[in-house]
Amino acid sequence: MANAIDFGDLSTATSYGGGASSSIKGCFAGGYAPSRTDKIEYITIATTGNGVDQGNLTAGVTSTSVVANETRAITGGGYGPSSAVTTMDIITLATNANATDFGDITVARQSMASNLSNAHGGILVGEQRPSVTYMPGSGRALFFNGNAANRIELFSIPTLGNTSDFGDCVEQAQTGGSVGSVTRAVVGGGYSPSNTNLIQAIELQSQGNMFDFGDRTNSVQQVGGASNSTRGLFAGGETVNVVDYITIATTGNATDFGDLSSARAAPAGMASPTRALFAGGYEPSRVNTVDYFTIGSTGNATDFGDLSGTRSQMGSASSSTRGVTGGGTDGSSPGIVNTMDYFTIASTGNATDFGDLTVARTTMKNGGSNNIRAVYCGGITPSNSNVMDYVTIASAGDAADFGDLIAASGQTSGVQGDSHGGLQSS
């Protein structure tokens, strides 16, 4: 705890004004300055500085109440020239312009307290906020370190920042496939230092080390992973077409699920609650193939469409409706790309351009995601990277900086968390 420090000044000393904010702007409206005023001023929350003119209310008012979401603020009531008023105005926060009429409150009144909105202070609608006490489904994600250390790193998908140490793996398995439920994360296969069939798991609830879950049906590296709340699928590897699955809530050995359309390594896994997609890979040549499976049944892959180019070893993440791949290797020299593609999981078809990663890199495997945000971690540039970048899944565009891993790491087994697309309702 600490004392407040100076932020700046309004253009005029003002009392009895109203205020509200988005995640970017703080807005101050009306008040005495020293007579009744219609002035609207704003500040940019992330910086310090003086108030800036935003525009004017429809009329001068004091003791007005203001609520806001991420895009606009609405004033209600207050005291006009001679009495309380019913006036309600709209202030569009992103533009500097005068307020417009919204309507009227039911009874003229002023100095109202406890004004609420469903996204006050820039809290986005539908965004799960971090809790002091961990809540399953709140966005906890674990990064399974690759060639840097036998370490599991923790971060929260809704909150930008660096990772922290969570625990250790049974084996430092590199390029395994990762799957998970709301309560458990699982890694299958990889190499440590030789190819392994080990399946290892960890409970997301509390920090600690992984435990032996069982064995895969084969021992390969460069495995793809995708899951819903019940089943986890491990697909492909160097170089097989095998897909096997586990029931995440239990322990035991994997069971045969079916086959990919071709034997290939390093496909990128994405999932909705009903479908698993596996995109790209190498046979050993890179491919643009995208296969899909219905998670609740067993059987061989069905053709979904194609990536925008031939690539393997991409990062991948999904909401319940959209899968996004990032980076990878296209087979040229050095061939490391920053390309991002997306797919609508419920349909079939070819990839659409999404944007670019902040840094071109490969061997990232699964990223961390919830229904809003995807985070891509580590990889090779061709040196090991500590970069974490993120995108908003519903909106195409370039990635932005999220934070840093504890140490630069490549050949990872990716990220698994409690809120990926396979765990969300569509």
Question: Domain residues of the chain, as ranges?
Answer: 18-122, 140-423
- Looking at every residue in the chain, the average pLDDT score rounds to 92
pLDDT at 193 over 80: yes
**Percent of the chain scored above 70 by pLDDT?**
95
Position of tokens 């971060």?
155
Query: Distance between CA atoms of 56 and 40, rounded to whole angstroms?
Result: 5
What pLDDT, on a 0 to 100 scale, did the predictor assign at position 23?
79
Check residue 129 and give its pLDDT.
54
- Give the Cα separation of 22 and 3 in Å (integer): 24
Quote the CA–CA distance of 184 and 191 in Å, as a whole number.
22
Calculate mean pLDDT across residues 9-16: 90
Q: How would residue 118 be classed by pLDDT, with cut points 50, 70 and 90?
A: low
pLDDT at site 21 = 87
Encode pLDDT of 212-243 as tens digits: 999 999 999 999 999 999 999 999 999 999 99
Which residues, in sequence order, are bridge partners of residue 259? 242
If 0-12 CB within 10 Å is exposed, 13-18 middle and 19+ buried, where does residue 349 land? exposed
Q: Give the model's pLDDT for residue 404.
A: 97
Give, for 400, the enclosing helix (H) or strand (E): strand 400-409
What pLDDT was estimated at residue 155?
97
Question: What is the C-alpha separation between 24 and 34, in angstroms, rounded?
Answer: 28
User: Is the predicted pLDDT of residue 117 greater than 80, yes or no?
Assistant: no
Collect all residues with Cβ–Cβ distance below 8 Å to 407 and sequence separation of at least 6. 145, 148, 149, 384, 386
- Radius of gyration for the chain, computed over Cα atoms and rounded to the nearest angstrom: 26
The percent of residues above 90 in pLDDT, for the chain, comes to 75
pLDDT band at 44 (very low <50, low <70, confident <90, very high): confident
What per-residue confidence (pLDDT) applies to 111?
82
- pLDDT of the residue at 95: 84
Place of tokens 């540039």: 381
Residue 315 · residue 367 · CB < 8 Å: yes
**Given a cut of 60, is residue 128 above it in pLDDT?**
no
pLDDT of residue 131: 56
Classify strands 152-156 and 255-259 as parallel, antiparallel or unpaired: unpaired
| DSSP category for residue 158 | T
CA 154 to chain centroid:
14
Identify residue 317 by its one-letter amino acid code.
A
pLDDT at 321: 97
Please report the sign of the dihedral spanned by the C-alpha atoms of residue 264, residue 268, residue 269, residue 270.
negative
pLDDT class of 71 with cuts at 50, 70, 90: confident
Task: Determine the average pLDDT of the residues in 153-177.
Answer: 95
Residue whose entry in the numeric block shows the structure tokens 């660096």: 162
Predicted confidence band of residue 26 (pLDDT cuts 50, 70, 90):
confident
Sequence-ordered list of residues with C-beta below 8 angstroms from that of 333, at least 6 positions apart, any chain: none
In sequence order, which residues have a C-beta less than 8 Å from that of residue 43 and are 6 or more positions away? 7, 8, 25, 26, 28, 49, 50, 51, 52
pLDDT bucket at 154, cuts 50 / 70 / 90: very high
Q: In what order do the strands lie in the sheet with 140-144?
A: 164-167, 152-156, 140-144, 415-417
**Residue 170: pLDDT band by 50, 70, 90 thresholds?**
very high
Fold of the CATH domain 140-423? Neuraminidase (2.120.10)
**Helix, strand or coil for residue 398?**
coil
Domains 18-122 and 140-423 share a fold: yes
Q: How far apart are CA 339 and CA 10, in angstroms?
A: 45
pLDDT for position 217: 98
- Mind listing the pLDDT tens digit for each residue in 93-110? 888 899 999 999 999 888
pLDDT at 333: 84
Quick check: 125 pLDDT over 80?
no
Q: Which fold has domain 18-122?
A: Neuraminidase (2.120.10)
Q: What's the whole-model pTM score?
A: 0.72
Q: 291 falls in which pLDDT band (50, 70, 90)?
A: very high
Instruction: Look at residue 73 in the predicted model and tell me its pLDDT.
Output: 86
Question: d(Cα 408, Cα 383) in Å, to the nearest integer?
Answer: 9
Give the pLDDT score at 376: 98
pLDDT at residue 368, rounded to an integer: 96
Q: Residue 18's pLDDT is what?
A: 87
pLDDT tens digits, 369-404: 999 999 999 999 999 999 999 999 999 999 999 999
Mean pLDDT (whole number) for 61-89: 89
Per-residue pLDDT at 426 exceeds 80:
no
Examine the pLDDT at 126 and tell me if it is beyond 70.
no
